[in-house]
């Protein structure tokens, strides 16, 4: 059994070393089994462990995505704690679900999925709480297993406390894996550790799993015991020492989750830098989803990208912005502390600072959205501007519209949303209220302080406010003296 938690002090192994080169043979079909039945008590959370978020997605989602990248015939997820909540959260995942109703060890968990796997398949075993396992590493492991060998992924730690140890003979061949609780003092000095990730022919694996016993210190069916059974049957056992210890670290508590979040953030930042994106500080950028970008993009500090985000050439994102499921066109400047969600922003726009674009905000080229302006479910034509303290909701604006400071599109009557249509070249004065549904003709001007409730003709000045009156005899109320 592998150790169920991570080590921050992991040291890099010396090098992706494999014990042998597999023979060139027909590659059998692949089935992937993800063991995800752990309870995760140390998380101290009502959320099942494999649903804990990493980079904006559940731990188990990361593992499923990596498994999908290998194009297997099937992916089987063995679940237990959290039960239907896990299945419901990942209902759209392309996996087959298997319940482990009793948690009797990793060998027992894997055995639950084996009835669904044909004998002529190979089985790759992954873990729902080891989310950073790499595609390239798994390809190496599969190649190493070939058609009829067993391959396992190992890692070398300076501080291997808690991990199962890889026991080799004098010729350097793997003989068995010994759990720390069952290890001798000499075996505990071994630095090469088990990750739990392995590849095996399904027919052989099924036979070994059925012969496991609970004769160990924890009274569980250890998956690791199949190694000794393979050696006994003279099946080649080939170990691959990972070059990246961080990719095999697991998660068992919030501290370890935070460590992996940091590693994941650093990995994504490194990918962006390698692709030519300028990051003001790589340690202070979070990519919690998919970020597609053009050339010469600049991202300032403390920026968060969530979901699917696309940035065009020369986009500049200021400090402290959150961008979620949005598209930002070339040469657009997003100034600091903006919230952008579900928006499509055209080229050469100027956004912020302190602006909010809500879902279905669509901006054409050269639109300006200034400080403390909110746009929701609205289209703004080319060159239109709302520079200060405005709300635009459920509206269609033409080109070159100027929305004055304090303008409110009053789209909600308490029961339903209503549409506002504003033609080209309209100017609204400061502190205007446009009460939807309403149409404002092209070239119209709305006087400052107007509350407009009827259609506005094109090219005219419309004033909708009470005449100014001064009450000469009025006196301000005064407080009684104490």
pLDDT of residue 10: 35
pLDDT of residue 11: 33
What global pTM score does this model have?
A: 0.84
Domain boundaries, the chain: 30-248, 258-462
Q: Token pair for residue 376? A: 């929701």
10-residue averages of pLDDT along the chain (482 residues): 41 46 69 92 91 94 97 96 87 94 92 96 97 95 94 92 90 91 90 94 96 90 94 95 91 93 94 97 95 98 97 98 98 98 98 98 98 98 98 98 98 95 98 97 97 97 92 89 81
Alpha helices in 180-280 (DSSP H): 202-210, 225-232, 254-274
**Cα–Cα distance measured from residue 406 to residue 451, given in angstroms and rounded to the nearest whole number:** 12
Strands 402-403 and 385-388: parallel
pLDDT of residue 4: 44
SS3 of residue 340 by DSSP:
strand
Report domain 30-248's class: alpha beta
pLDDT of residue 18: 58
* Cα Rg, the chain, nearest whole Å: 31
pLDDT of residue 24: 52
Crossing angle of helices 225-232 and 202-210, in 10° steps, is: 110
**Cα–Cα distance measured from residue 132 to residue 220, given in angstroms and rounded to the nearest whole number:** 27
Q: Does domain 258-462 have CATH number 2.160.10.10?
A: yes
SS3 of residue 429 by DSSP:
coil
- Catalytic site residues? 388
**Cα–Cα distance measured from residue 251 to residue 274, given in angstroms and rounded to the nearest whole number:** 28
**Cα–Cα distance measured from residue 221 to residue 1, given in angstroms and rounded to the nearest whole number:** 9
């Amino acid at each position: 059994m592998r150790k169920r938690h991570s080590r921050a002090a992991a040291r890099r192994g010396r090098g992706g070393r494999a014990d042998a080169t597999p023979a060139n043979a027909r590659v059998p079909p692949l089935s992937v089994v993800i063991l995800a039945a752990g309870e995760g008590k140390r998380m101290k959370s009502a959320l099942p462990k494999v649903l804990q978020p990493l980079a904006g997605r559940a731990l188990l989602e990361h593992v499923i995505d990596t498994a999908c990248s290998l194009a297997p015939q099937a992916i089987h997820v063995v679940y237990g704690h959290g039960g239907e909540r896990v299945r419901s959260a990942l209902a759209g995942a392309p996996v087959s679900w298997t319940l482990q109703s009793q948690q009797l060890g990793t060998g027992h968990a894997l055995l639950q999925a084996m009835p669904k796997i044909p004998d002529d398949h190979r089985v790759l075993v992954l873990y729902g709480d080891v989310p950073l396992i790499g595609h390239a590493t798994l390809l190496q492991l599969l190649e190493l297993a070939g058609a009829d060998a067993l391959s396992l992924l190992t890692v070398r730690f300076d501080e291997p406390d808690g991990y199962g140890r890889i026991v080799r003979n004098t010729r350097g061949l793997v003989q068995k894996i010994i759990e720390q609780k069952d290890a001798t003092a000499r075996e505990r000095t071994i630095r090469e550790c088990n990750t739990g990730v392995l590849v095996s022919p399904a027919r052989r694996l099924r036979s070994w799993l059925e012969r496991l016993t609970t004769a160990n210190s924890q009274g569980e069916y250890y998956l690791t015991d199949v190694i000794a059974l393979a050696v006994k049957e003279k099946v080649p056992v080939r170990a691959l020492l990972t070059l990246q210890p961080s990719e095999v670290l697991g998660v068992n508590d919030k501290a370890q989750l935070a460590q992996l979040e940091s590693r994941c953030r650093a990995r994504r930042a490194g990918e962006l830098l390698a692709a030519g994106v300028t990051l003001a500080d790589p340690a202070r950028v979070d990519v919690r989803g998919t970020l597609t970008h053009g050339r010469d993009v600049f991202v300032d500090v403390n920026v968060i990208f969530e979901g699917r985000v696309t940035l065009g050439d020369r986009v500049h994102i200021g400090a402290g912005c959150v961008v979620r499921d949005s598209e930002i066109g070339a040469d657009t400047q997003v100034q600091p502390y903006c919230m952008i969600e579900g928006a499509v922003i055209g080229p050469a726009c100027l956004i912020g600072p302190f602006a909010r674009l809500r879902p279905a905000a669509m901006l054409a080229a050269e639109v300006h959205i200034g400080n403390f302006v909110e746009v929701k479910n609205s289209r703004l034509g080319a060159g239109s501007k709302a520079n200060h303290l405005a709300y635009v909701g459920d509206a269609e604006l033409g080109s070159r519209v100027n929305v004055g400071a304090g303008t409110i599109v009053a789209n909600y009557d308490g029961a339903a949303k209503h549409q506002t249509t504003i033609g080209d070249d309209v100017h609204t004065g400061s502190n205007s209220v446009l009460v939807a549904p309403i149409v404002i003709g092209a070239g119209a001007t709305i006087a400052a302080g107007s509350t407009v409730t009827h259609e506005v003709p094109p090219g005219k000045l419309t004033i909708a406010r009470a005449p100014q009156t001064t009450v000469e005899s009025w006196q301000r109320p005064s407080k009684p003296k104490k």
